[in-house]
Amino acid sequence: MNRILHLGFGNFHRAHQAFYTAAANALGENWAITGVAMRRPDLRDALAAGGFAYTLGIRGTDGLEARHIAVHDRVLVVPEDPQAVIDAIADPETHIVSLTVTEKGYHLNPATGAPDLDGAALAADLVAPLPQTAVGLIAHGLAKRVAAGAPVTVLSCDNISGNGHKLAHAVHGFAKAAGLDIGDFLATHVRFPDSMVDRITPATTDGIRAEIAAITGKNEPQPVLTEAFSEWIIEDDFAGPRPAWDKVGVEIVPDVAPFEMRKLRLLNAAHSYLAYAGQLAGHRYVHEAIRDPRLRPIVEGIWDEAASTLPDAVADTTPAYRTALLDRFEGAGMRHELAQIAQDGSLKLPVRLVPVWHLRRAAGDLAPNVTEAVAAWLAFVRREVLAGRALADPAAGRLAGMVRGADDTDAFCRAGCALLDMEEGTADWLATLVRDVDALSP
């Protein structure tokens, strides 16, 4: 049997990669997935009695559809038996090692992009008998796999730009530091394709359990709810076999970067604007914010400005993509929290909004809607700090200092321009927009 080993056995994986693999199997494929829980056995234990099968609830405009997903036949838990995970990675039957461990699970130094070998997690893996991190497990598993000489694809499914290349860099750096001689094997037998994923998948709640049970007629401990929209784009760079994902909606392309750019500058940029302006206007969810007649025109304007900066490879797809985004944003069923999207703005704006601002300026154009989105973030930051609420942002200390150290809005916006690497001359315009956004507050 062909096998995938997936590190990060959680709801997103079960709604996305497992969903597509089950769909490929329905066409006559024969793939199984070994799930790997990185920390806790709870999900494994909850699903074990049912052979790890579960119901996936897909919410669309026509209501809720239930899909039976049965592609996992084994679930390992890293703290219980890391050697079993290493052995499974080394098994020639495993053709793909995929992972969803979030950006933090790559343990990269944000300044250099190299693996953070001095950080607590990787430093512990370097001296421990057996590793606990995804990077360490993959490195040791590949080192054991060298003896069999079996090629393997290591497929990152995390929401990180250039995720495959970054994962390859992390594994190679860790292996070298750990004295694992796998450099030649990585070059000749292992591929790390980039990929891009997108599907809103909330945590399972009692309400979700009850809603899915109402249409299936059975109570399950861990069903999954997701939206109808789903996207998975993978670089065509595999070391060996893969499921027929391309026949069930996955796009296999020469270069993922244009699609990542489209997502960042359209979906993610609009999400960031709605997260800040929406909360300032008193909204809680995305569907509420996009229906606000004061906010929706700015979203459309952000998309107009971003579209002019996208590469030709995705230009023809952009109108349909925008239509699909509006459908997603307006859907009330997923109840996508603005506060969740608003986290880590100092990291998100420089890749979602600021590049469009720079590209438009370089072309001799203005970006008033993108600039207003930046202003919404600044206004939100100032409101939260002055209200004494903690910011969910790695630069929270610096942002609080910017607010408290500024004599007026203009000075605060000059500090914001410096933080985001925007021209200081834009600060006066930003200050005007910040005052306008402040007026949204009910």
- Give the model confidence (pLDDT) of 170-215 as tens digits: 999 999 999 999 999 999 999 999 999 999 999 999 999 999 999 9
pLDDT above 90 (res 422): yes
pLDDT exceeds cutoff 90 at 14: yes
Residue 441 has pLDDT above 90, yes or no: no
Say if residue 337 is in the same domain as residue 377.
yes
Q: Do 301 and 218 sit in the same domain of this protein? A: no
Is the per-residue pLDDT at 432 higher than 80? yes
pLDDT given for residue 36 in this prediction:
98
- Amino acid identity of 228? A
Question: Among 108-112, 246-250, 382-386, where is mean pLDDT lowest?
Answer: 108-112
| Reported confidence tier of residue 165, pLDDT bands at 50, 70, 90 | very high
Question: Would the CA dihedral through 17, 23, 25, 29 be positive or negative?
Answer: negative
Q: Is the pLDDT at 61 greater than 90, yes or no?
A: no
Q: What is the C-alpha radius of gyration for the chain, rounded to an integer number of angstroms? A: 23
Same domain, 270 and 244: no
pTM for the predicted model, two decimal places = 0.89
CB 430 within 8 A of CB 378: yes
DSSP H or E segment with residue 388: none
Q: Do 223 and 348 fall into the same domain?
A: no
Q: Are residues 316 and 193 in the same domain?
A: no
Q: Based on the domain organization, do 95 and 184 belong to the same domain?
A: yes
**In the structure, what pLDDT confidence band is assigned to residue 261 with cuts at 50, 70 and 90?**
very high
Task: Work out the average pLDDT over 6-13.
Answer: 98
Residue 62 pLDDT grade (very low, low, confident, very high; cuts 50, 70, 90): confident
Last residue of a domain, one of 227, 253, 279: 253
Burial 111-131 (b: 16+ CB within 10 A, else e): eeeebbbeeebbeebeeeeeb
- Determine the residue type at 419: L
- Domain holding 152: CATH number? 3.40.50.720
C-alpha dihedral, 170 to 171 to 175 to 181, nearest 10°: -130
Residue 56 sits in the same domain as residue 202:
yes
Measured distance CA(8)–CA(376) in Å, rounded: 34
How many domains in the chain?
A: 2
Domain final position from 211, 228, 253: 253
- Final residue of a structural domain among 253, 273, 303: 253
Cβ 77 vs Cβ 40: under 8 Å: yes
Residue 109 has pLDDT above 90, yes or no: no
| 148 shares its domain with 282 | no
Query: Among residues 272, 291, 292, which one has the least CA distance to residue 369?
Result: 272
| pLDDT score for 294 | 96
Would you list the DSSP string of 226-250? EES--EEEEES--SS----GGGTT-
Domain range holding 228? 2-253
Q: How far is CA 355 from the centre of its chain?
A: 19
The answer to whether residues 78 and 96 belong to one domain is yes
Question: What value does the mean pLDDT of the chain take?
Answer: 96
Cα gap 287→41, rounded to integer Å: 35
The domain that holds 300 is classified in CATH as 1.10.1040.10
One domain for residues 155 and 171: yes
Is 111 a residue whose pLDDT tops 80? Answer: no
Q: Tell me which residue has tokens 């704006």.
A: 349
